[in-house]
Amino acid sequence: MSGVGVGSFFHEDGHPWLHRTVRDIASRGEGELAAIVQEKTGGRTVRVAHIRGASGVEWTTAAGNIQLVS
**Structural domain of residue 59, as residue ranges?**
5-68
- In this prediction, residue 2 has a pLDDT band, given cuts at 50, 70 and 90, of very low
Tens of pLDDT, residue by residue over 22-66, are 999 999 999 999 999 998 889 999 999 999 999 999 999 999 999
Identify the CATH number of the domain in which residue 47 sits. 2.40.10
Find out whether 47 and 4 touch, Cβ atoms under 8 Å.
no
Q: How many other C-beta atoms lie within 10 A of the C-beta of residue 43?
A: 5
Q: Is 1 or 65 the better-scoring residue by pLDDT?
A: 65
Q: How many other C-beta atoms lie within 10 A of the C-beta of residue 42?
A: 6
Q: Is 11 or 40 the better-scoring residue by pLDDT?
A: 40
**Predicted TM-score (pTM) of this structure:** 0.81
Provide the domain count of the chain.
1
Find out whether 34 and 46 touch, Cβ atoms under 8 Å.
no
